[in-house]
Amino acid sequence: MNKIILLGLRDLKTDEIILPMREYEITLIAERVALEKPDSFSDEEEENIYKLKISHIDKIKDLGEAREVKFEKGKTPSQKLRLLTENKLGREDYASFINYLMGRFEELSDDYINLNNK
């Protein structure tokens, strides 16, 4: 048996009423950030522990009415960057675009400094 630990949970804000005795489906997008192997000297059954960091919450659905619950997305700069990138390039290109940006960090930061010094 393996175990998953979720990291990066956050509070959500909504103007909608969350009803009691109702089930909600929350779709989380996460990536594996660590794998911990158990001690091989342990007598217990070996169990891998995967740590997943939640990058964002994709949607919330009210299962009683089969409708999506609206909530605030994109409040932090990293969330805004992810939403902008995924809307423009698609979810599958997010990681490669961020790597591209990081590769051009020196050039882009120098441009930014030059613009602010004028």
Instruction: Report pTM.
Output: 0.52
**Helices H / strands E in the chain, number of each:** 3, 4
For 37-60, write each residue's pLDDT tens digit. Answer: 876 665 666 788 999 988 888 889
For 78-107, write each residue's pLDDT tens digit. Answer: 777 888 888 899 888 988 999 999 999 999
How many Å apart are CA 69 and CA 57, to the nearest integer? Answer: 12
Domain containing residue 90 = 74-118
- 51, 33 in Cβ contact below 8 A? yes
Domain count, the chain: 2
Q: Write the single-letter amino acid at 84.
A: L
What confidence score (pLDDT) does residue 40 get? 64
In a shared domain, residues 78 and 68 = no
In a shared domain, residues 55 and 2 = yes
* Residue 82 phi, psi dihedral angles, 5° rounding: -60, -50
Query: What token pair was written down for 29?
Result: 């997008």
